[in-house]
Each structure stands twice: as structure tokens, then as C-alpha cells.
Structure 1
């Protein structure tokens, strides 16, 4: 019979096999470093798995995850995992793990197998893999790969199967005959659950941050949002050719900017105006025509006691909008300017500055 804590709450059946392993290890009281060692994972990957577990099971923190692991029968005091309908192996801890394959695209494209970097070959071959990794929930046809990687200049020969063959060999896990790339009658796709992709992890962290934000846990939302942003590491998909990579480069750039804005908005709501100012300044330099960023920077400066600097931001943004786009400031930017001129703190909609 379910315990009170589990009634109406998502169960471990909603988790992937790896997530159940991590939840079991958390329930056993292991630290992230110990879990990383036991499961042959990078320590930051453990943190990402835990964030996804908390989001899927609608749990607030690690302590709640430990309680849930016991309540659902995954961990039994002094006995190890209970043999239930969806158990994890008893050997989950301190057992040699299957080598993992990872792909990172939030910067120059990289891949690793069993924790070791691998050479993905030349840039067009990497672009084929990127197209598969960025379409994780569907099959990508050969024609889509040709159009996305070569555009209007398709190759003379049918090189896509050759590239797929090479990538299968490069990414094949040690002592395994299984490929992480599968083919069906419609095309190619990555085997679900066989590859860790940093873009997927970033989106899962964003979802977890959103859940925390909607629950009013703004400090936790900022923490998880920062983890998502830490996955970005330079020029996105650097050097990869083709229209698909170019569109994804733009999309991911916009995603990062929106994520920075969300995090900074939460910081401002927490009253961390001085803390947010430096990052807002950098973002304003990067996005000089982004009016919401200018508004947040003006509010942060004003609530930090820097009214003149806030008004300077308005003047600079107004000039850039006129010179570059030939348009006046938008309504929100003008209203914020007027509120700062009048000293209308309440109308700025910000939390009071923390001591």
C-alpha cells in the first residue's frame, strides 16, 4: 500500500534507468563525487541527473529525493534495493559501469566515449552527427542530412552512409557490438538513451529551473539556471558547415540570451541588484538593441542607488535604436525611464534590496 508521501506523486517509473540508478545512490547517502565514481560519470553529469529527477518527481531538493527513494521502496534501510516491479540492480554501486558516449555542442563540437575524447573526423562528418544529436526525438532522412549539411552544393557521391559508418565505429562503446546510431526505412537517428547530449541536458535544467521559479523557489531557480548556462563554452557549433548548423547556431544563441535574461530577472526579484549589474552590463554590450535587457539594467542600477547611470543606459539605448534601426524607444523602455526620473520605486516592480 503506498505511503502518504507517494500518493498523487510521480513514481520512479517515470525515470530513465540511469536516473533510477542515481536516485538509488542518492537514497543510499552517497555524495555526488561518490556517485560519479561508482557510475563512471562526470560529477557535473550527476548534478544534471539529480536536477532532472527532482523535476520529474516534483521534489524540492536532495533531502526530498532521499525520502522519496525510501517511500517508493527503491531503498530499504540496511537491506539495499527492494525487489520491486521496477528495481535497479543490486550492483548499481561500486560496479563497473558500461562505457558512456557523450556529445557536446554548446561550443566547438566534441564527443567522448567512456570518459575519453574521440576524434569525430572532418567538419562535414561532425555536422552530420550534430544534425542527428539536435533531432533526438525523430529519424532524420538522408535528404534532410544532404540539405542541412551541404545546402545548395550536394556532394557528387553518396557520402552520407560512409559518414554514418565512420561515426558508428568512432562512437561504438568498448567491448560492445551495439551502435549508438540506428537506421530505419526513413533514415538515421541516435539510439534513445544511448548518448548524453549537452543540449538535451541544458533543456532539462531549464525546465527544472522553470519549475522552481513557478513554485517561488527563486534561489533554487537561479542555481539551476546557472548550471544550464555553465554548459555553454564558447562559439556554438564552431566551424560546422551547412544551413542546419547555421540555424541551430542562431537558435542556441537566442536560447542562451533568453536564459541569461530569465536568471537575471530572478536575481532582481530576489533583490540582488548589485550582483546582477555586472552580467547585465556585459549582456547589454552584446545586445545593444535588446530593450528588455536595457530595462533590467536600468532597474538594477537605480535600485543600487545609481540613478544617473540608469539614465545614461536609456540615452545610450535610445541613440542606438535611432541610429541602427531608425525607431524610437519602446513603451516599456520609456515608462522605465519616466519612473526613474520621478523616483517611483514601487512602480518598478522590484523586490526591496537585500541587506
Structure 2
């Protein structure tokens, strides 16, 4: 059994990072299925890891592993095993059962909360590292990928990624307990599944429900889902974050936001809530005056409520703005809307735009 040279105290020397996590969880009295859920591992992998730990440390059974975890300092006395009221690792598992303790918001300035309390995430580059992990929730992100996404063509001279991750772990983890948020393995870093609620993931889940709502002909449900998804957006997307990844995601999420707003207007029109649709589309076009799809959607909505002259004004203003700012003529989408308005043919009642 490995011990320190001076004190004879058992250590976990010789164990890998994942094996230390497994041993800590065993020391807290967690079963294999609980460890598997907490560390996002298959249960047979946990059993194999434990068997390897016993061999490496020269321990005879699970009970000896629990004692060793306490003696090696991997479990704080008084906070384990499972019979104690607040053991760290089971507390994280219980927190996931009741809902993640940590929330991360990407649909605006990057922010995070733990148990409803705002967290200080450090400077913008460190926030960009957290955003990269949250944007890739569900998979491991390698150090090289983080460097490319956050620093681009000007990577740092020093190995700062582990430093930033270490600081973020300290900020995000449960008080005094093992880190339940960011995991690390040979492939890189990832958010532990179930440990974090990311608003982007919730938005995509809501958008995924639009297809079934359309197939069921349920415009009211589609409107509800769009409204809830749009409510998650809060101002400038990934505000101020540096790096190519943030820049690309700002563009993608902006298009997602516009698409959902168009889809919402389509449901409003189907439900006879035409004034609401027109007002929201006017606001959307004010925010994105060069977006031809938004202008076309607004023109058709105005035609539907008998405001044909205003629809033609929208076309003319958008055409002039495109020429002045981009030096281009209206595209096919805007030209089709213009022809529809000129012909006076009222558009059909289906949703305008699609959540891509």
C-alpha cells in the first residue's frame, strides 16, 4: 500500500485523475451506479476502475478502499460516508436529481449562478474558456481546440488553459466539495452532464418541440414554445468575448434568434393576433435592418392586415438600405414578397420563417 516516506500515511500516489475521483466517491460510500451517474461513466467502467485501484493500492476490498480514501485525505472526515447528512459527492448527485445547482447563461453576456447566487467568472478570456465548454456541452473539448477557439491565430506563450480551468472549477464547484462541474481526462475538459443548466441547451430543447407542434397543427403550443425560447435571450450575445469561436457563435445565435422571432410571428398570424405580430416584426426589422427575410415576413404580415401601402414602404426602405450599406440589390426572398404585395394576394396562414 503506497504511503508517504515520512509519516507512513496512506496516499493515492500512482493513481490517475479518474481513479482518484472514483476512490473519492467510494470513500463517500457511493454505489457503482451512483458513481457512474456522478462522473458520467458506464457502470462497468466504474467497476473496472475500482478493481484496478484495489490492485494498485494493495487493498483487499471496497471497505478497505473507503478507509484508505479517508486516510489519504481524499474524503474530509465528518462529510462522509453516505450515512452523514451532507457528504460531498452524494450531495452533488442529489442536487442533479433536484436540478443543477449551477446555471450558465450564454444568450447574452456570459454569466453564472450557483444556488441562485451570481458568480464572478474572471476576465473575458477566462469567460471565453467557460463559454467554449458550455457551447460544446455533452462532449470533451481538447486543449488545442480551446486555444484555437479562444485565442485563434495568437495563442498564449504560456500554458494558461489549465490555470483558467482551475480557477473556473473553484468558482463553480459546490462549497467545500469535490468539483461537480468541469471534468478532465486525457482528451481535454468537459462540463459534467447533469451538473449544469445552460440556457442555450434549454433554448434548443424548446425549439425542438416546434416540429411536433406543427405536425399536430397546434399553433398555440408553437407560439408558447417560441415565446419561452426567445425569453432566454438577454441582450448582446456573448458580449465582449474574444476569439473566433465567440464570433462565429454570435452570428449563429443571432440567426437563431431571428428565426425564432419569425416563427413566432407566423403562429401569431395563424391565431389572429395580427397586431402583435406586426409590432414585433417592426421591432425585429429595426434591430436587423439588413435582414431581407425579416423584411419579407413583415411585408406579408402587413398585407394580411390590409396595410398594403406600408408593406411597399418597408420594401423601399429595405431596398435603399441594402444599396447604401452593402451595395447590393434585393435578393429573391424580398423580391418575391414585393411581387406578392403588388399582386395583392394574401399569404397563407402557415408559420413564416423556420427555426433552423
> TM-score, structure 2 length as denominator?
0.67
Quick check: 1:131–1:145 contact (8 Å CA) kept in 2? yes
* 1:164-183 correspondence runs (5 A): 164-183=165-184
Quick check: 1:141–1:187 contact (8 Å CA) kept in 2? yes
How far residue 310 of structure 1 moved from its aligned partner, in angstroms, is 1.3
Q: Does 1:150 align with 2:151?
A: yes
CA distance in 1, matches of 2:257, 2:337: 25
Quick check: 1:104–1:197 contact (8 Å CA) kept in 2? yes
How far residue 97 of structure 1 moved from its aligned partner, in angstroms, is 5.5
How far residue 117 of structure 1 moved from its aligned partner, in angstroms, is 1.1
How far residue 266 of structure 1 moved from its aligned partner, in angstroms, is 2.0
Structure 2: gaps spanning 5 or more residues: 1-36, 38-93, 351-356
* 1:255-334 correspondence runs (5 A): 255-334=256-335
Instruction: Report what 1:127 is aligned to.
Output: 128
Q: Please give the per-residue CA displacement for 1:295-345, whole angstroms capped at 9, x wherever unaligned.
A: 221122122222211111122222233334444434443343333334333
Quick check: 2:100–2:197 contact (8 Å CA) kept in 1? no
Which of these two proteins has the greater Rg computed from alpha carbons? 2
How far residue 192 of structure 1 moved from its aligned partner, in angstroms, is 1.0
CA distance in 1, matches of 2:162, 2:131: 15
- SS for the counterpart of 2:165 is helix
How far residue 224 of structure 1 moved from its aligned partner, in angstroms, is 1.2
How far residue 269 of structure 1 moved from its aligned partner, in angstroms, is 2.7
Q: Does 1:350 align with 2:343?
A: no
Instruction: Report what 2:193 is aligned to.
Output: 192
- SS for the counterpart of 1:288 is coil
Q: Report the CA distance shift for 1:137/1:344 in structure 2 as closer, same or farther (over 3 A).
A: same
How far residue 179 of structure 1 moved from its aligned partner, in angstroms, is 3.0
CA distance in 1, matches of 2:113, 2:338: 50
Cα RMSD (Å)? 2.2
Q: Report the CA distance shift for 1:205/1:157 in structure 2 as closer, same or farther (over 3 A).
A: same
CA distance in 2, matches of 1:203, 1:224: 10
Q: Report the CA distance shift for 1:150/1:312 in structure 2 as closer, same or farther (over 3 A).
A: same
Quick check: 1:99–1:174 contact (8 Å CA) kept in 2? no
Equivalent pairs counted in the alignment come to 256
- SS for the counterpart of 2:212 is helix
CA distance in 1, matches of 2:265, 2:193: 34
CA distance in 1, matches of 2:190, 2:261: 31
- SS for the counterpart of 2:201 is helix
> TM-score, structure 1 length as denominator?
0.67
Structure 1: gaps spanning 5 or more residues: 1-16, 18-91
Quick check: 1:274–1:300 contact (8 Å CA) kept in 2? no
- SS for the counterpart of 2:233 is coil
* 1:1-355 correspondence runs (5 A): 100-345=101-346, 348-350=347-349
Q: Please give the per-residue CA displacement for 1:55-93, whole angstroms capped at 9, x wherever unaligned.
A: xxxxxxxxxxxxxxxxxxxxxxxxxxxxxxxxxxxxx9x
Quick check: 2:149–2:245 contact (8 Å CA) kept in 1? yes
Instruction: Report what 2:52 is aligned to.
Output: none
How far residue 175 of structure 1 moved from its aligned partner, in angstroms, is 4.9
CA distance in 2, matches of 1:271, 1:332: 24
Q: Report the CA distance shift for 1:338/1:250 in structure 2 as closer, same or farther (over 3 A).
A: closer
CA distance in 2, matches of 1:106, 1:115: 18
Q: Report the CA distance shift for 1:330/1:244 in structure 2 as closer, same or farther (over 3 A).
A: closer
How far residue 230 of structure 1 moved from its aligned partner, in angstroms, is 0.5
Instruction: Report what 2:63 is aligned to.
Output: none
How far residue 193 of structure 1 moved from its aligned partner, in angstroms, is 1.0
